Structure 1
Amino acid sequence: MSSGSIFQEEKNPRGIPKAPFIANVEEYLGGPDGEVEGPLKQFQDAIAKYRYMDANLTQRRRSLEDKIPDIKKTLSMVEFLQDRRESKDKADDRDDDLEDDDDTKGSGKPVTTTFELNDTLFAEAELEDTDTVFLWLGANVMLSYELPAAISLLRSKLGVAEASLATTIEDLEFLREQLTVMEVNTARVYNWDVKRRREKRLAEEAAGKKA
């Protein structure tokens, strides 16, 4: 048995190493008198590393699952503002028609909405036709964007977040498979050692009776 890393060279697309499955415990340990404490310690270290990665990815998954709905809501709002702006521009181009003039006045009326200040506090606001919006980018940064640029940015961020969530879920499934493999390896080596000790004790007792 190698004294180096127990991980295989095979990895998933994000570089998480695949766990080896110990098909023949005796062969893996180097024979019937092979030492088990070292391998078991390696297995426990590997399990700890997998669990650490699992905890980090689980936290990342929760963060993305919270972020994606927020991005979708923001994108929907900006698209609404863009549609409203485009409708007003089209109505302004038809100012020869009195009915279209009435529509223009209607489309220019402010829209009353509510927005969230914190988890339990909401406020009312009136939305007027605008060409720009301010987007919160995190890290105490807020920037102004033209509506088309804001929509493009939000769609890009949504695509990245959804792709990241998909790969995170895939990595979590892969990690849990590797954890299962390592736990099975640990149980197989432990049980093999228990069986070996029992057989050795029975052999010694039989030899003592013959003597």
Structure 2
Amino acid sequence: MKEPEHENAEKVLRKLDEQYQKYKFMEFNLQQKKTRLKGQIPEIKTTLDIIQHMQSRKGSSEPMETSFMMSDNLYAKATVPPTEKVCLWLGANVMLEYSVDDAAALLSKNHNAATSSMSQVEKDLEFLRNQLTTTEVNMARVFNWDVRRRQAAKLP
């Protein structure tokens, strides 16, 4: 703020605006990640619950009756024979076969990682909100200072 008076407020406001835009961009990316995690965590938990149910029926020879989702509002009933293997979608059109125990371990690890990531995203968003508020306040203060300075310069 100690540079020549006519440019100084504009430069500071430009820098603050640039910083503000960076924070908004980071906030947007974190919000997208949060939305994605909000969808993934329940899916992982549901799949983990099913795998754990299969583990509990491991020694049984009775088939398991279930209904599964074929699309958003369409479910089908199925009879699943006892099995030691399950197939999991990993994403990018990739499906792998796992033993029930390995699938449970993988899903538990993924659930813990997603929950931890969600917690970190929440903390990061809170930090960014504070930074955005501080930057907005600083921009307002610089602008008001410049207005007062210009008004004082006009007075005789």
TMscore range, shorter length: over 0.9
Say which one has the larger Rg.
Answer: 1
1:126-157 Cα deviation digits (max 9, x unpaired):
12211010011000000000111111100000
Summarize the alignment of residues 185-204 of structure 1 with structure 2, pairs less than 5 Å apart. Answer: 185-202=138-155, 204=156
> What TM-score do the two structures reach when normalised by structure 2?
0.95
Find 1:72's aligned residue among 33, 45, 49.
Answer: 45
Q: Which structure features the higher share of strand residues?
A: 2
1:70-104 Cα deviation digits (max 9, x unpaired):
0000001001101101xx2xxxxxxxxxxxxxxxx
Give 2:19's aligned residue. Answer: 46
Give 2:95's aligned residue. Answer: 142
The ranges of structure 1 where at least 4 consecutive aligned residues each deviate by more than 4 angstroms after the TM superposition are none
Evaluate the alpha carbon distance shift between residue 37 and residue 31 of structure 1 in structure 2; reply closer, same or farther with a 3 A threshold. Answer: closer
Task: Report how far residue 33 of structure 1 moved.
Answer: 3.0
Give 1:58's aligned residue. Answer: 31
The 2-side partners of 1:124 and 1:142 are apart by: 22
The 2-side partners of 1:127 and 1:80 are apart by: 12
Give 1:22's aligned residue. Answer: none
Q: What is the identity percentage for the equivalent residue pairs of Structure 1 and Structure 2? A: 42
The 2-side partners of 1:185 and 1:82 are apart by: 58
Task: Report how far residue 32 of structure 1 moved.
Answer: 8.5
Equivalent position amino acid for 1:109 in 2:
E
> What TM-score do the two structures reach when normalised by structure 1?
0.71
Q: Which structure features the higher share of helix residues?
A: 2
Equivalent position amino acid for 1:68 in 2:
I
Is residue 178 from structure 1 mapped to residue 131 from structure 2 by the alignment?
Answer: yes
Aligned residues: 155
Equivalent position amino acid for 1:81 in 2:
M
The 2-side partners of 1:33 and 1:135 are apart by: 65
RMSD: 1.3
